[in-house]
Amino acid sequence: MTSIKELREITQKEKVEGRERPWLYRSFERGPSIYITKILLQTPVTPNQVSLLMILFGLVGSFFVYTGELSNMIVGIAFLYGNILFDKVDGEIARFKKIFSLRGIYLDEINHLVIPGLFFASLTFALRGQSVLSDDVFLTIGMLAALSMPFIRIGHSLAPQIFAKKFLKKRYLFTLPIATEKTIVEGLKERKGILVWFLQTLHQFQEFFMILLVVFFALILQKYAEVSNLVVYALMGLGILLPLIFIENTVKGFFQIEKRIADLDKRFKI
């Protein structure tokens, strides 16, 4: 029987070592996921079946959130947390069994594009009418959050898409920067200061787990400490923050795209 320590070495090492990860990623995402993986490795379940279960958990969780009843919404957050864990488990099973599938990657991308946005849409419609803002303004803020999540995800994957779809076909048309050149963004990252720390902190809240954590604590405090409308305020805050993060990521992507393509070209040497 493979131990948890051995499983982590086989299935998680490439995901956690030498990589910058969000807060609590190792403790609350990769931490518990390996125990689910160990159980499922003793069954004939496939990574793609886990991916389908992941999406199902996301859909069920979003439905519970949509009901608007605080207890149901807490249950919904639990299902959505399951969605995050199964998102790790499918890859861990694939790496352990050496079962790799392009269909699995497709399901994973569909999950990231659909479930976080659906969660925000469900939360927005569940809370409408409870804000001091007009319904139209509140719905706009909530839907901006819902749209920002898939847009942020798409922005992160644009460089490899452009590399495969455009650059490789007609690389002679494009001038790439010298490898040693730094982008404006890279120069800013090297500076140590409160502004850089503040921006890095805000960026933690584009992670779905951190978003669920914020909403979960808001729900708990509202239900058991009777802090009124706290979930509404949490949604409004995220609804303002996430579009700003998307805009910032887009600006960074514009200045970084040539450098990222150059890095991909050097890495793959196609």
Domain of 51?
Answer: 4-268
In total, how many domains does the chain have? 1
Greatest CA separation for the chain: 63
pTM score: 0.92
- Per-residue pLDDT tens for 3-34? 999 999 999 998 888 778 899 999 999 999 99
Q: Rounded to an integer, what distance in angstroms lies between the CA atom of residue 261 and that of residue 162?
A: 8
The alpha carbons of the chain give a radius of gyration, in whole angstroms, of 20
pLDDT of amino acid 195:
79
Q: How many CB atoms lie within 10 A of CB 42?
A: 8
Lowest mean pLDDT among 11-25, 48-62, 74-88, 254-268: 11-25
- Distance from C-alpha of 206 to C-alpha of 156, rounded to nearest angstrom: 12
**In this structure, what DSSP letter does residue 226 have?**
-
The mean of the pLDDT values for the chain is: 92
In this predicted structure, the answer to whether residue 269 has a pLDDT above a threshold of 80 is no
Q: Which amino acid appears at position 87 of this protein?
A: D
Between CA 245 and CA 266 the distance in angstroms is 29
Spatial neighbors of 125 by CB under 8 A, at least 6 apart, are 66, 139, 142
Specify whether the backbone of 163 is left (phi greater than 0), alpha (psi in -120 to 50) or beta. alpha
- DSSP letter (8 states) at residue 192: -
Tens of pLDDT along 76-131?
999 999 999 999 999 999 999 999 999 999 999 999 999 999 999 999 999 999 99
Say if CB 241 and CB 147 are below 8 A apart: no
Residue 41 CA, chain-centre distance (Å), reads 25
pLDDT score for 268: 84
* Amino acid at site 194: I
For residue 186, pLDDT over 90 is answered with: no
CATH number at residue 166: 1.20.120.1760
In tens, the pLDDT along 222-244 reads: 999 999 999 999 999 999 999 99
Give yes or no for residue 185 having a pLDDT over 80. no
Instruction: Give the mean model confidence (pLDDT) for residues 189-206.
Output: 79
> pLDDT by residue (tens digit) across 146-156?
999 999 999 99
